[in-house]
Amino acid sequence: MKHLARWSAAAAVFVPFLLAQDSDRFQVQLLAKGYTYTDGPAWSKDGFLIFSDTPADQLLKWVPGQPPQVYRENVQGPAGNAFDSQGRLYTCETRARRVTRTDKKGAIEVLADRWEAKRLNAPNDIVVGRNDHAYFTDPAFGSQADHRELDFYGVYHIPPKGPLEIVAKLTGRPNGIALSPNGRVLYVTDSDDRSILAYDLDRNGQPANQRTLVENTGAVPDGIRVDEKGNLYVAAGGIAVYSAAGQWLDTIPVTDPPSNCGFGEADGQSIFITARRNVYRVRLLQKGAGSDERR
């Protein structure tokens, strides 16, 4: 209810522009079901969706008009996924405590598994910009916290060339991560503080000006994505929608608590939602923008 209290006339004008329908506008379609715990929906420019079944150590592939198929097995706790400009797949492997990149021939490369000789906590979510700068979060949930070697929760930068870089050392656990449409602002959800952080990025991908964009998301925030107008879509109870200024605009209701979301399909106007055992699709009037959604 705190969000509703912050509603303003300025924010209200975004809603018809954003979704342009009445209160029954959301047609939530069940796309796939029967998994253990789904996460990390990422759309490939080659016309398919990848998503994770984390406890099952599987990546799944969905092609429109076909049932999902196993894309890769034995992935060591896959969570967030993203594609780069070359169509390579980046995956956060929580149990292996690393970030990998799979090329279009299936070759797997480890991009990050340590910071200053200490193993990462459990990489969770990742975003890759148009310039192939990648950013990922490294929290530790549940039993993952029992094996930590680092005394902080990190947000990291994988540049196209050069070593791994630190964006932020946080006391709260960072979770979802996304980029603004122009790639100059990085967004991170903090599950412990129930907030959304923002960082300005320079042309080399270096961060500055850490700030809290949304102070209280209500439900624990998980994955986050951005549309072409810069609005944020946050998996927090449902899919909560915020303006780029941090004003709550609307919420897409989902029966199951969502873990993540991502835009896709040919026109970029579908948002895919991973939620516990299921994957959903909702058609919107806005297109996704910025990272692994559209190019």
- pLDDT, one tens digit per residue, over 128-181 is 999 999 999 999 998 888 889 999 999 999 999 989 999 999 999 999 999 999
Tell me which residue has tokens 């791994």: 164
Q: Stretch 269-289: mean pLDDT, rounded?
A: 95
Percent of the chain with pLDDT over 90: 85
- Record the pTM: 0.90
How many angstroms separate the CA atoms of 293 and 241, rounded? 17
Cβ 127 vs Cβ 92: under 8 Å = no
**Dihedral through CA 60, CA 230, CA 193, CA 249, nearest 10?**
-100
Cβ 26 vs Cβ 67: under 8 Å = no
pLDDT at position 145 is: 82
How many angstroms separate the CA atoms of 252 and 238, rounded? 6
Fold of 2-283: Neuraminidase (2.120.10)
**Dihedral through CA 35, CA 37, CA 39, CA 44, nearest 10?**
-20
The secondary structure of 12-79 as a DSSP string is HTHHHHHT-S-TT---EEEEE---S-EEEEEEETTTEEEEEETTTTEEEEE-TTS--EEEE---SSEE
- Residues 12-55: tens digit of each pLDDT: 333 333 443 444 578 999 999 999 999 999 999 999 999 999 99
- Residues 173-208: tens digit of each pLDDT: 999 999 999 999 999 999 999 999 999 999 999 999
**Model confidence at 7: pLDDT above 90:** no
How many angstroms separate the CA atoms of 185 and 208, rounded? 10
Cβ 130 vs Cβ 183: under 8 Å = yes
